[in-house]
Structure 1
Amino acid sequence: MKQNIINARVTFRKSPIHVLEKFAFKDMPNACLTFKKNSSVSECVIIQTCNRIELFATSDNHNVDEIKRTWASLTGLEENAFRDTLEVCENKDAYEHLLKLTSGLESLVVGEEQILGQIKESISAARKANASGKRLNKLFERSIRIGTRIRNSTGIGSGGISLGSMAVKLAEENVDDIKSKHVLLIGTGEAATLVAKSLKKRGYAFDVTSRTLERSVGFSQTLGGKPIKFEDVLSGFNNYEIIFVATTAPYFLVSFDRMKDSMKNKKPGMMILDLSNPRTVDEKVATIPGIKLMNIDQIAEMVDKNMKKRREKVSTVENIISEEVPIIEATMKRLDAEPLVKDVFTNADSMRIKELQKALQMLGETDEKRIKIIDELTKAVVESIVSTPMNNLRKASEQGNPELLEIASKLFNYKKKE
């Protein structure tokens, strides 16, 4: 009867972003249902961002190899691709990990707020696809509520610090009057989203481009910016004074030769901020007169300095999480007893109704007021008899006593419903 909560994840902590892309699912609702069908899991939720792909699932007999095989089949990867990248935990460790996610401790930028919205979207999508159930719904509902409370009480996410907002701030510090300058954003992923939000918030106009114009158009409709063809950008870097690069590519997108040619017919004065990981701007670009280049390491260093206050709050957040994990653990264990408890109450009430109808027929009772009194009386008697053992069963389940649950199942002739 015991259902384990499993978390299997590939994140930026072990894999660069261009590798993470390979583990991503094109259709997450379909992926959830495929895991349910092929990996011995009964519920499934997938959290997918530029920095992580995570599977949360419930199972009473899970097999990590089955999860790997299903994941590989959905993404076209070989199973050995998971050897050094996949992290797996379950139950208490999985609850703690999810709380760290919702509170912002597991983010590339500690305390960033976007992940909380992404987690809400993930559980909503899983519910809509009927991929999640009462266990994961309860777990995510509690974790989101606790994560929100932690953020509000500790201020771990205050200050709006992110790679994107820091990049825009650095541009402001190095370039006069950005509103009069031509700004380009290359990329439509998570980092690019943060840049676009920051630019839009400050009222700066910008062009946006990606490998496909459709993606740029979709991005601009939500986050602002004017979509530009990728090919036009590659031959027109000289049109811009500020360029944010936030994409993934196995080569230098902004090469030395290309930028050298661009600067020939341009007035000196261009700033390039490379938020890509791995870098997609050739470092030699910084040697070209008139160009100032900052890469993700330098930007991250600036974020780091501004993150000091947030990091000072990490221990406070961890202490709150350590107090909440046992409560969630007890809540989840209690759910193991609920099907049996519900079944016992349902069967007892069915027998009550059956015997009540017999008694009323024998008495020839027709007075509705008297019938209601007798009905309420029988309900109270059944509830008073059944409630105490069922509450004790719930407590035993919370305290991790599955033996009593098994005994009760035999005693009440309970058969698990598939």
Structure 2
Amino acid sequence: MALLTLGINHRTAPLELRERIAFTPERMAEAFAELRAASGASEAAILSTCNRTELYLAGDDDCAALVLRWLAGFHGLAPGELEDAIYVHRDSEAVRHMMRVASGLDSMVLGEPQILGQLKDAYALAREHDASGTFLSRLFEQTFSVAKRVRTQTAIGENPVSVAYAAVSMASHIFSDMSRNRALLIGAGKTIELVARHLSEAGVTDFLVANRTLDRAQNLAEDHGGRGIVLSDIPDYLPEVDIVIASTASPLPILGKGAVERALKRRKHRPYFMVDIAVPRDIEPEVASLDDVYLYTVDDLRQVIEENVRSREGAAREAENLILAGAQEFLSQLRALDAVATLKQFRQQAERQRDQETEKALRALRNGGDPETVIRSLGRGLTNKLLHEPSIQVRKASAEGRVEVTHWLRELHQLETQDNEVSVTSEKL
């Protein structure tokens, strides 16, 4: 079984391209059905976050070109628009890549913990759509185990740094006393939960959480002393806030330029600090052109993040060693499983040949054949059947210069090298 990973991330593609090929929850069922049909893969999983979109496939063929064509077509792009941004990993490199992703070593924020939860969600989604079989299931489980080792055996997760942390950190540089500012958080997912926690730690005590469902918004807001509202209420409350941080899974912008312009007039042009963490974006890019609005995207947070992760570089080197060991362990398990399957098939074939020769001997005995003659014939027939095809293949391999086959045969059957064995050197005449 071959493994293929194909995707783009924050290092290979700008935000504009990443948001164009992000998968929305509403289209996941359609995506799984089409992906497997288009690629011929027996198993598939899809990871789609603000910083990356990756496809994990298990099958017999190298189907990278088919997957690229499908990915572009599914999102209304030409394959050429993705070619320069796409990376492809196969087999052992694909295993190691998934483990690096899960451990936060391939993230914009080195060692950030959210990606592990997102990868677990991707695995759960693949299982929900019956797209993950034995191979990917084993890979995901081993990946989660390695990521746990990285978290517990290295300092990669100390001094939490995340996109949410970077957003709040940037806000603290703009507002000298965060306790005097009111925040609006758009969304109620894990990223916004982290934002709310970091805002509270920074001194913000007054904020709103806007979400499609009010209950979810209320629950998250109440945990930090805030208030929940629905998305349609945002224009009414926008003039009252100073900080806006958005992260939803909406395929279209939630906050437009017009709504911000009207809010600015009502607040007499007191400045806004806005961070759009979502991909696709929740805040129209045109909002950045307004005076008194400081709008940042996930890509704008890169410098803040890079300054905060230098202390993790030593831990990252330790993590790489754990990942390499984990990948080798997984590949060894796969080879062992493959050997078991091969041995099972080999035994079944030998047992069929045994049964055929045994039945032939029993018929001869029932017909009055001499027992000693029948037994000797049984032995010769069974030996011939067991050795016939291997003998042909060994001669063929030797004639082709694949002398390692003969060596393996000797090792498998513990044969001693004969003194008169002919040594053939490989020469091109």
2-side partners of 1:54 and 1:297: how far apart?
A: 18
2:97 match = 97
Aligned to 1:303: 305
In the alignment, the residues of structure 2 paired with residue 292 and residue 186 of structure 1 have an alpha-carbon distance, to the nearest angstrom, of 17
Q: Which runs of 5+ in 2 are unaligned?
A: 357-403, 410-429
* Partner Cα distance (1:283, 1:104) in 2: 30
How much does 1:200 deviate?
7.0
Q: Is 1:143 aligned to residue 143 of structure 2? A: yes
Distance 1:188 1:52, change over 3 A: farther
Contact 1:50-1:189 at 8 Å conserved across structures: no
What is the aligned length? Answer: 348
Q: In structure 1, which of residues 7, 10, 18 is the aligned counterpart of residue 8 of structure 2?
A: 10
More deviation, 312-321/22-31: 22-31
Structure 1: distance between partners of 2:78 and 2:299? 31
Structure 1 residues 403 and 166 mapped into 2: Cα distance closer, same or farther (>3 Å)?
farther
- Answer yes or no: is the 8 Å Cα contact 2:4–2:64 preserved in 1: no
Tell me the distance in 2 between the aligned counterparts of 1:48 and 1:234: 29
Structure 1 residue 313, shift from structure 2 partner: 2.1
Gaps of 5+ in 1: 355-401, 408-418
Equivalent-residue separation in structure 2 for 1:295 and 1:70 (angstroms): 28
What residue in structure 1 maps to residue 56 of structure 2? 56
> What letter is aligned with 1:305?
E
Tell me how far apart the structure 2 counterparts of residues 292 and 7 of structure 1 sit (CA, whole Å).
37
1:208–1:345 Cα change, 3 Å: farther
Partner of 2:65: 65
Q: CA RMSD in A?
A: 4.2
Q: Secondary structure at the match of 1:206?
A: strand
C-alpha change, 1:229 and 1:107, in structure 2 (3 Å) is: same
Q: CA deviation at 1:258?
A: 4.5
Instruction: Mark the CA change 1:233 to 1:123 in structure 2 (over 3 Å): closer, same or farther.
Output: closer
Tell me, in whole angstroms, the C-alpha distance in 1 between the residues paired with 2:288 and 2:35.
43
Q: Is 2:85 the partner of 1:88? A: no
Q: Which residue of 2 aligns with 1:319?
A: 321
Paired with 2:30 and 2:295, the residues of 1 have a C-alpha distance of 42
- The correspondence for 1:220, drawn from 212, 217, 220, is 217
2:267 aligns with 263
Give 1:117 deviation, angstroms: 1.3
- 1:96 Cα shift? 1.6
Provide the residue aligned with 1:393 in structure 2. none
Higher alpha-carbon deviation: 73-82 or 85-94:
73-82
After superposing on structure 2, the runs of 4+ consecutive aligned residues of structure 1 that deviate more than 6 Å are 200-203, 247-252, 291-295, 346-354
* 1:126-165 → structure 2 map (5 Å cutoff): 126-165=126-165
For residues 218 and 352 of structure 1, the distance between their equivalents in structure 2, rounded to whole angstroms, comes to 69
Q: Secondary structure at the match of 1:313?
A: helix
Q: Percent identity?
A: 27
Task: Mark the CA change 1:259 to 1:60 in structure 2 (over 3 Å): closer, same or farther.
Answer: same
Letter matched to residue 185 of structure 1? L
How many angstroms apart in 1 are the aligned matches of 2:255 and 2:140? 40
Evaluate the alpha carbon distance shift between residue 254 and residue 179 of structure 1 in structure 2; reply closer, same or farther with a 3 A threshold: farther
Deviation per CA, 1:15-69: give whole Å up to 9, x if none: 2334323223344355334333331211112222222221111122232222133
Residue 5 (structure 1) shift: 0.7
TM-score (ref. length: structure 2): 0.66
For the 8 Å contact 1:184–1:206, the answer to whether it is kept is yes
Alpha carbons of 1:353 and 1:138: their partners in 2 closer, same or farther (altered >3 Å)? farther
| CA distances 1:76-114 after superposition (whole Å, capped 9, x unpaired) | 443333222322110121112111111111112111111
Letter in 1 for 2:66: E
Quick one: structure 1 residues 250 and 118, their matched pair in 2 at CA, closer, same or farther if it must change by over 3 Å?
Answer: closer
One-letter amino acid of the structure 2 residue matched with residue 129 of structure 1: H
Residues 317-356 of structure 1 aligned to structure 2 (within 5 Å): 317-344=319-346
Q: CA deviation at 1:217?
A: 3.9
Partners in 2 of 1:222 and 1:57 — Cα distance?
37
Question: Which moves more between the two structures, 227-236 or 91-100?
Answer: 227-236
Aligned-residue offset at 1:341: 3.0
Whichever residue aligns with residue 242 of structure 1, its letter is I
Contact 2:208 2:229 in 1 (8 A): yes
Counterpart code for 1:262? R
Q: For the pair shown, which has the larger CA radius of gyration, 1 or 2? A: 2
Distance 1:253 1:42 in 2: 42
User: Where does residue 240 of structure 2 map in the other structure?
Assistant: 239
Aligned with 2:62: secondary structure?
Answer: coil
2: distance between equivalents of 1:147 and 1:220? Answer: 31
